Every structure is written in structure tokens, then in C-alpha cells.
Amino acid sequence: MKRPAVLLALALLLLTSTLLTYRMLWLEYPIFPTAPGQTWQLSIHARIKAEQKEVRVEIGLPSEHAGRMLLEERITSAALSFNLLREGPNRLGVWSGTIEPGVEEIAYRATIVVRPGRFPKAEPPTLIKYPPIVGKEEQALAERLSARWNGLAPSARLLAIAASTRGEWGTPLPEDRDLRAWAVVEEKYGRLAALQALFQVAGLPARAVEGLRLEEGIKNSLLTWIEVWTVKAWEIVTPDTGKIEGKPASLLPLAAGGVPAIRGAAGELSDVRWSLSRQIVSQWQLHFERIRRSDRLLDRWSLFHLPAEFQETFRILLLVPIGALMIGALRNLVGFPTFGIFMPVLMALAFRSTGLAYGLGIFAGVLLIGYTVRRLLDRLRLLLVPRMSVILTLVIACFTILALIGNKFGLRQFMAVGLLPFVILTMVIERFFVLIEEAGVREGLRTAAGSAAVSVISYAIISWEPLQLTFFVYPELMAAVAALLVLLGRYTGYRLSELFRFRTFRSLA
């Protein structure tokens, strides 16, 4: 293999690797773009009963970060105006305005994509030693109880404090009066506030969070849990049981840091419902939304910015080089006989409209009819161009008759025959006739079967949606395909079919 071909192939592979690395590491593209993660639809419905004309209601909404992506947010505000409010890590929907006395309905709906393994880059929070509601006596009590954990690592401290909610204080046990006093604190302020105070005193920043568990159903109230900072990440603790959630946690936070998930400054909120259901979303839509929100150079020049009617065409065109690579490998390495080089790819493209079974049947039928007519034309001894023109006319006549039959019996596949490459079919009929005359019927049928087999393989490749999506997201993969074609073009060894064909000589040797 000559050096220029190898250098060119290496350069193309290097270009592909560089662009892929840039997209995956810097633009945070998924390694496998066909694995979008879990998709949920969140719906929030509420009724507002106006006690006075001015109404203002705030409801916690899901936030978007590296572990979640929001699609298609829709808001129903009736006679009220809607605004988004940022308050710390929270994202609040604010419905406000003037309404007549009565009941108004508001609603929010969003599609949420949960992407496992992709968590937000957490930043250390500011440590507030005690929740504001805890008094000085309770603070001193919390300090006495937490003194036993001061020498532990943050992760061990987390486990020990979480176990205390189950009455597991370790050895030696705290004094009975302190345990009884702490039970009073839990009853007075609630277990969540008491546990949060213990974490804070032990040097672990903690915050209360309201939200939902990601499971299908309708909820009339929210869950509450504690997020605890352990130097590297936030850990989730259930205050009632002390259970630490694994990762990725199947929880959807709506409000954190003491901000209530529902707040009404005026008007009475009633019948607030949150519903979650699994949502089927096209993989194409997920990546379109992800790229549409980016202002990076490669994202701005992404194929997803093409008009929708042209994207469908390029989904297929980007896979044609793969089909050509497959044909080259099957011909040069395996030894498949085919009519021409690109005929199988063109046939595969046409099969997308006719369907594979109907397309192969039409191909075989037109080929046999064309061969019969070609034998009759041979007796007339016509010149090449007029003879080919007659066969072309025959092919188009066959397409027309099939379209009429399809219209009569409601077979759309027959009406799509116009997309078959009629010029290529005309050339195939001529080559089929010549091959049978020169090499016999067996060789002609073998070549026709080889062409059909390669067309089926190319059709399977072109129609595979995960591969379409991968090349659409990473079009630089065409450079890698070109590199493989260059290397394949320099191959001069034996084909697999030749090893089988000349097996007798190998046994003699």
C-alpha cells in the first residue's frame, strides 16, 4: 500500500477524531446520541379563588441543568399574566393580575429529559450554622449531640447523622436527658428542621428541598427531603427514615433552600395537582432542542438548523457513503457480483418508498420483462441508442401500469415506483442480456442475485434510524468513511470468493 494513500487516510481519520473529541468534551455531546435518557411529562394544575381583585401566585417549576433538559414548556394563565422569577437555585412561575371574584384555573406543562450520568457541576454552598427557627438552647443541644462526629470524614459524618434518625446514635450513647430534649425539638420544629440543624452544626451544609419522585401518577402534595453537601457533591437524605438516595436519584426538585414550592400573596390556591407520566419523544427532537439552545460555532452550523423539509433528505444522503463503502467491501473483499457500482445504492434509496419486498418484486419483474423484450429487439438489429431508448420506454410503461394498478387496489407501494432509477434499470436490462449471452443464464442470475443482496444490505444501513441520527449529529464521520474507502481502494489481495473458487488449486499445492 503506497504511502500517500495511507497519509491521506490518516489525515481524514485525525480530522474526524479531532472534531468528535471537541464535540464530546467541550460541547458535551453524548457519546451515543441515540440514548437520550428517560423522558417525563410534568403537568401542574391549580385553581385560584380570588378574595380580592389583585392576585399573585408563585409555584416552583423544574430547573434545567446538565442532568435535566426541559422541552416544550406550556403555560395556561387564564386572565392572569405569567412571568418567570429566579430566586437562588429556584425557578418560580409567577401568575399575577386582576381578576373578577370567582375561580380561575392555571396550568403548566413541560417535557423533562432525565439524562443519567450527566450531573450538574455542583458548587460549595455557604454554611449557615443553624436554621433560623432553632433557638439558642436547641443550638447548644445540637452541638453536644454532634460533637461525637467531629473527627469523621464528611461521607462518614453523613452516614452517622442519617442513622441518628433511626435512633442509632452509636457508642457511647448520648445522655438520656439530651435524647429526650432532642425528641422535644423534633416534635416542636419537625424532624426535617431538626435533622437539618444537626447537619449544619456538624459542618455539612444542608438545605430542605420540595419536589416529586419520578414515577407515574397524580399527586396532591409534594415530597420533602434534605440535600447535604459532602465536599464533592450533594447527597439526598430522606428525613423520615434517614435513607440516602442512590445516584442518579429519581427525584425532581421544584424548590430548595427554604423557598416554598407554593406561595400565594393574594388569592386562595385550591386543588393543586402535580401529574407525571412517561413521554415518548423523538430522538431527533431531543437533539434539535439541545443544539438549538447552543451558541457554539459547530452548533450554529449544525444540520439541525436546516428547514425541516430538507433535513429528511440529508438524513439519507449522509448514509450514502456508508452504502458505497459496503458495496466496495462486498465487491473487492468478498467478491459479490453486481450490475454496476452504484446501482445497489440507488435501488436501496428507492426501496425506502416502495418497501423492501415490493421493491425487490418490482425489480425482478421489470428485469424479466425487459430481458424478454430485449431478446425480441435483438432480431431487429437496431442501433445502440434506439435500442436503449425502446427499453427505456418499456421501463417507464411498466412503471405507469404498476402505478395504475396500485391506484386501483390501494397499493401505495406500486404508486411509488416512479422513484426507482429507471435509467439505471434500463442499463441493467442491457447488461443482464449481454451477460447471459456471453457467460450463460447461471452467471446472469448470480449477478442479479448479488445486486439484489447488496441492495438489501444497503437498504438496511440507510434505513437504520440510530445510524442516521449519529451521522446527522456528527457529519464529520463522513471523513472517516472516506479514509476507509481510500484504504480499501489500495487493496490488491484475494477476494473471499476467489479463495472458495480456487480451493482445488490450494489442495493440490
**Angle at Cα 40 formed by Cα 37 and Cα 42, nearest 5°?**
150
Rounded Cα distance, 262 and 231, in Å? 30
Domain extent listing, the chain:
136-257, 309-473
**What is 136-257's CATH number?**
3.10.620.30
Cell triple for residue 91? Answer: 425557578
Q: Which range, 184-188, 368-372, 458-462, has the best average confidence (pLDDT)?
A: 368-372
Calculate the average pLDDT of the chain. 80
Q: How confident is the model at residue 256 (pLDDT cuts 50, 70, 90)?
A: confident
**Count of beta carbons in the 10 Å neighbourhood of residue 399:** 21
DSSP string, 9-63: HHHHHHHHHHHHHIIIIIS---SSTT---EEEEEEEEEEEE-SSSEEEEEEEE--
Q: What pLDDT, on the 0 to 100 scale, is given for residue 419?
A: 60
Residue 65 has what DSSP assignment?
A: B
State pLDDT tens for residues 139-169: 788 888 888 887 788 888 888 888 888 888 8
Task: List, as own/partner pairs, every contact residues 125-133 make where C-beta atoms lie below 8 angstroms and the sequence separation is at least 24, other chains included.
Answer: 125/205, 125/207, 125/229, 126/205, 127/200, 127/203, 127/205, 128/200, 128/205, 129/200, 129/201, 130/197, 130/200, 130/201, 131/189, 131/193, 131/196, 131/197, 131/200, 131/258, 133/189, 133/193
HSE-CB of 396 using CA atoms within 13 angstroms? 7
Look at residue 118 and tell me whether its pLDDT is greater than 60: no
Peptide bond into 174 cis (omega under 30): no
Give 271 or 450, the one with higher predicted confidence: 450
Look at residue 132 and tell me whether its pLDDT is greater than 70: no
Rounded Cα distance, 355 and 348, in Å? 10
Tell me the sheet residues that pair with 112: 40, 70
Element (H, E) at 325: helix 320-329
Q: CA-based diameter of the chain, in Å?
A: 116
State pLDDT tens for residues 37-67: 568 888 998 888 766 667 788 888 888 765 6
CB 108 within 8 A of CB 74: yes
Rounded Cα distance, 333 and 495, in Å? 5
Q: What pLDDT, on the 0 to 100 scale, is given for residue 494?
A: 73
Q: What pLDDT, on the 0 to 100 scale, is given for residue 129?
A: 58
CB 257 within 8 A of CB 205: no
Look at residue 482 and tell me whether its pLDDT is greater than 80: yes
Q: What pLDDT, on the 0 to 100 scale, is given for residue 48?
A: 80
Q: What pLDDT, on the 0 to 100 scale, is given for residue 131?
A: 61
State pLDDT tens for residues 385-413: 888 888 889 888 888 888 888 888 777 77
Rounded Cα distance, 349 and 463, in Å? 9
**Count of beta carbons in the 10 Å neighbourhood of residue 122:** 12
Look at residue 272 and tell me whether its pLDDT is greater than 80: yes
State pLDDT tens for residues 428-471: 888 888 888 888 888 888 888 888 888 888 888 888 888 888 88
Query: What is the β-pairing status of strands 223-229 and 90-98?
Result: unpaired
Q: What pLDDT, on the 0 to 100 scale, is given for residue 119?
A: 47
State pLDDT tens for residues 413-424: 777 666 667 777
Query: What is the β-pairing status of strands 103-114 and 234-237?
Result: unpaired
Residue 416 has what DSSP assignment?
A: G
Share of the chain above pLDDT 90, in %: 2
What is the average pLDDT across 182-188? Answer: 83
C-alpha distances (whole Å) from 100 to each of 53, 57, 93, 103 are 6, 16, 21, 9
pTM: 0.58
